[in-house]
Structure 1
């Protein structure tokens, strides 16, 4: 879902203190570079340490056969479904859980999540209402008519707010399937007034409704190896965890309605006019959008309000959900798109009222086509036969169909912001076909795994749409204002969806920005893109968890990124790296080396100062015979020296001279005469480590660049230094010149050589003598054997 954030959400904040994963936060080593270790779940037969599904991986399946009746006069939906549920888990199930999302619209059936509230400074007549105590039933929510097994026998069930448990008459064992039926109905809410993802929008000028039927049927919960039943309540924010399966859906609607839905319609020849059917067949081979239902036909249909009925039949395979739309207001266009990676021929289509014609006719279907082709490049080839965009004044996603905004003024004009917003939301919602409709993460728990990954890929897709596209989520500099917020307004990305204050930045922008920083600054495009595609391929049509993503990105790239996941995903520290000081020095090329003298005495026997318990016991153990006692050939000078049998003067003082350097030759003086050294001291003021990226500008106007990886902070996470030697004078240094690390304070990222920095005394330069290796060999000192022999006396 794409959010338009206008105000701070009032969802309760749960502090990040429980996620403080720094074992030693007060020292120079706050564990920012320690491995995630026990923070991630232990790999097992279902999920491997590499991030791939294990050989024992399993997931359950649910097939649906649904009939629906849309009563436009009563604004009521009546449905009947047969669900076939397959238990592929190794567990015996004695009950199952289903989701009743429409209960969230009910005043008495919804999830009982209380939120803080305060007096408004102003309000409207629609918002000002007397508080009902006790709360009265507003008539919305699911009305269950019948729940039976395949033969019609009633099944015992319990409704807990937005969740329903069905108690099974017998255990559902591994490899078995359960067939059961549910009949239900509910009053369709006005989603413009009441909010929510599904419902109707009324167009008062022509007296018509536009229906977006979403979360409209009782849906199976996910039962998984990592969570058991995902039956957390639906509050309207945390989205969905759903099971893959096949759908057959029949929608009975007024005969002048046009219906779009997940999957393929199987009876266009029965529900379309001959002209519309002919245009649809033309669109199947068109490279430009063809109007299947024209603007004139849509305007005429608005006036008729037929009382006749038609049934539209749809089928969809390997999808996790089904949504549909219905209205007589729709213009409908489409074109054929071929995905190069798998040669899949996809019908890209759009449905929109006349109010959006000026934008959607030109852009929507082409944006759909661009999205599925571009996402296919970065993830997996789009596998479905259809991709659809519906203009419905909001933004929400479902398999093969999504709902977007973008209407013109009455005169047909529009602002650039409206145009870009409409293109952006189409790309975003169509992109959700990949995250999470195919790469099927648990949105109820981890919003970032679908919204963040999708927003990142949306950014890549917007860039390929138009290099001037004003993307607001993805570039590092766009997240700075959020990262500057006080800590009580921040929480880690790794937070439950319901506990996030700044939901848009946290679930969408910050994850997308982090991935873009990984791609552009830390890993590089080639490594990142390969790893990202590997994740998509591994977890397509499966249920990934955060650890699966983190581990795969490292496994497929060879990059240790635990420091990044710790800081960016588990923490709330910002990036603020400062140039603290620049020290300038020039070489003293005329210096004469001085011999260094070291005073020493001959080494004493190399024995432990204290004879420990083990040595004492070994010495008195009659069963132990020491090798050097058995073999006289091993008893050398130091055997005797250690036992006081060799007399050595350990008090006599010797002098060791070190003449390792010599004066520079003239050619070396000429070589180094223009060198200036610059030591740059950096301070980590924000806490989050990042690469140190520098732009050097020299007095002659030339520039040079350098980047040190984030590993430079390993030994001291608070301050580091880098020294450079240049053969021309520096004019200035700019830290993070392209604003690619999301540094929140750029005022401390610049240094200018304006004379305020004093030069150090010169550093001496000598020619180094060539010397042999000394490790394990002679070091020039007198050893005890020499002293005992009197060779050095």
Structure 2
């Protein structure tokens, strides 16, 4: 959208603001006060930065897993080194066993409506844990307690504060569901099964200064929240399976034939998509190092909050180089079945992936990982560090949209590690916001951007069933989740950028927020504090009603009168959310000018009269001519009435 032009005086208008007498007697001060306790402490500062005693714990994982297509099972062995950087000793840790979500008596199953929803899962036996050992120094404990999707692991000696270490190891096994809550599972294709594996191994929960142990159960809509660490993962599969995963392939020469390896190396250096395994070579043993038996694919990723992978003998596999602002490069690659092939479909996936990674790296913060893979699966769209699962049926604008959205999640919440179980808007909403600008930029706007007509959503904003953005995802009505997690917070950031702060101030503050909280765990108050501090603006009047309320925007022009050679314009705030009043004035000679009244005009009441002088006769005035605001009643935005055209 066009940047607001503030050059009112340059067009020959002189201004003087006079409050109405009645407004002087009123006060809306509470709308401008802080709406939550956002004072600083030693862990989180009042400027929205980590404080001097901020901490987060670390977990490094070494995993060896075997995929058995005959039984559709994963068996594995995991060793986790845990570092306690917190200020208190820990007698135990909590770990997530997300595959227990699929049992018949899990909390998630029992809280799924009988008519079903997106988060249906196959009834399975859950995760089998064996040979668990929890070591601190020379002591070893085997004591653990499994409750639904969580496991409490006890130690014989506490993990000491501020740097104490523990090692937890165990074996695990589970059956891979066909329907994995639209986050993982199996897809049958004409050339074999595609296995999409996510939230598949025992993983430690976050211990922080806000909640202590974050142990919200895995129900469905709430996604995940983990600490950062390094992953060293070996995955053994049949010899003619391709495995793609979070991070970088460590042993391409050991799993690929010489010809496939040469293509892999070419893709690492090519700006155009290179076929590594073509549609004619699907499942061909000659493309792999071993001609029979099994192979082990070895992947590593550093400073990541999770690890996911996909495996299949049905994959077409292609890739290209992505380029980062620092000069670093990496591999953008795609894996998909022949059913998804075609230039109107997944043959463009790597092109989309490369464009998405490069745009966000240039615009906001550099992508930190050496590879990024897009996988076609029976999943509408789901993100993990460096890896997407997207629908194998997607084509054209739909495929671009889901690919760009899922890769955008590498910034929120993979780089900026917010708590998805509680605050879906801090990852889905922020991501939808950056997707808007990425789509505008891709191929000079090849595909339509979704946030350019926010007033088309007015019916939801005035509906009786709307909920607050702050509603936890597992609590929200699923019919509202798309709005409160994705669109409303994204629209709020667009308004903040293009209407309230302006692009330069917003971009500086938003980039600063990303850089400050990269690979850390911000809370909502950290975002609010940081944006206010970096942009130099009290925004409580906007943050509270937009993110924590269900009220609406309704600015109005009440009247325009000419008296003694001057114009007196009366405007009112008929809604629940105050806003600056930005207007386009059109004169009888056809010229125009922009005028802006600050949000502070509403501090003393909901009506304001503004006086300005001009030698030109005014023909019309329109509030928010670019239609950035979600004003729920645009019939009163103009003088004379009804000049607005959609």
SS at match of 1:705: strand
Structure 1 residues 406 and 423: CA distance shift in structure 2, 3 A: farther
CA contact 1:113–1:235 (8 Å) conserved in 2:
no
Instruction: Name the CA distance, whole Å, in 1 between partners of 2:80 and 2:452.
Output: 41
* Cα shift readout 1:377-402 (whole Å, capped 9, x = no counterpart): 33221121111111224211111111
User: Superposed, which structure 2 residues align to 1:511-526 within 5 Å?
Assistant: 511-526=489-504
Residue 302 (structure 2) aligned to one of 309, 317, 328: 317
Indicate whether 1:94 and 2:72 are aligned: no
Aligned counterpart, 1:527: 505
C-alpha separation between the residues in 1 aligned to 2:312 and 2:98?
23
- Equivalent-residue separation in structure 2 for 1:227 and 1:474 (angstroms): 38
Helix, strand or coil for the counterpart of 1:189?
A: coil
Q: Of residues 380, 403, 409 in structure 1, which corresponds to 2:389?
A: 403
Q: Distance in 1 between matches of 2:283 and 2:596?
A: 60
2:441 alignment partner in structure 1: 464
Take 1:321 and 1:513, find their aligned partners in 2: how far apart are those partners? Answer: 29
| 1:3-18 matches, cutoff 5 A | none
For the residues of structure 2 that align with 1:97 and 1:685, how far apart are their CA atoms? Answer: 50
CA displacement, residues 480-537 of structure 1 (integer Å, 9 cap, x when unaligned): 3321222xx2222222222222111101111111111111111111111111111111
Please name the residue that 1:622 is paired with: none
Q: Higher Cα Rg: structure 1 or 2?
A: 1
The one of 327, 334, 338 equivalent to 2:312 is 327
Contact 2:422 2:473 in 1 (8 A): yes
C-alpha contact 2:346 2:399 (8 A) present in aligned 1: no
Tell me the TM-score normalized by structure 2.
0.89
Identify the residue that residue 267 of structure 1 maps to in structure 2: 251
On the 8 A contact 1:80/1:181 being kept in 2, the answer is yes
| Structure 1: segments with no counterpart, 5+ residues | 1-26, 128-136, 409-417, 588-674, 755-793
Partner of 1:658: none
Superposed CA deviations along residues 15-66 of structure 1, whole A, max 9, x for unmatched, are xxxxxxxxxxxx95454533316x1344111111111111211110001111
Return the match for 2:31 from 27, 33, 51: 33
Identify if the C-alpha distance between structure 1 residues 720 and 113 changes in structure 2 by more than 3 Å, giving closer, same or farther: farther
Contact 1:522–1:709 at 8 Å: present in 2 too? Answer: no
Once the 2 structures are TM-superposed, how far is the Cα of residue 154 of structure 1 from its aligned partner?
Answer: 5.3
Structure 1, residues 397-456: CA drift from partner, whole Å, max 9, x if none? 111111112537xxxxxxxxx411110111111111111111111111111111111111
1:728 is aligned to: 616
Q: Distance in 1 between matches of 2:308 and 2:244?
A: 9
Deviation at residue 709 of structure 1 after TM alignment:
2.4
C-alpha distance in 1 between matches for 2:28 and 2:150? 43
Partner residue, 2:47: 50
Counterparts of residues 76-225 of structure 1 (less than 5 Å)? 76-111=73-108, 114=111, 138-149=123-134, 155-174=142-161, 175-191=163-179, 195-203=181-189, 206=190, 208-225=192-209
Q: Which has the higher contact order (CA 8 A, sep 6+)?
A: 2
**Which residue does the alignment assign to 1:701?**
590
Preserved contact between residue 140 and residue 188 of structure 1 (Cα < 8 Å)? no
Give yes or no for the alignment of 1:548 onto 2:535. Answer: no
User: Superposition pairs for residues 649-660 of structure 1, below 5 Å?
Assistant: none
Distance of aligned partners of 1:46 and 1:455 in 2 relative to their CA distance in 1, 3 Å threshold: same
Q: Is the 8 A contact 1:214 1:322 kept in 2?
A: yes
> Cα–Cα, structure 1 residues 258 and 155, in superposed 2: closer, same or farther, change >3 Å?
same
- Where does the alignment leave 5 or more consecutive residues of structure 2 unmatched? 1-24
1:490 aligns with 2:379: no
Taking only aligned residues, the RMSD between alpha carbons, in angstroms, comes to: 2.7
Tell me the residue number matched to 2:331: 347
Distance 1:300 1:255 in 2: 10
For 1:332 and 1:571, the matched residues in 2 are separated by 47
The 1:684–1:90 alpha-carbon spacing in structure 2 relative to 1, beyond 3 Å, is same
* Residue 374 of structure 1, CA deviation: 1.7
Look up the SS of the partner of 2:449 in the other structure.
coil
Aligned residue-pair number: 607
How high is the TM-score relative to the length of structure 1? 0.73
Is 2:354 the counterpart of 1:369?
A: yes
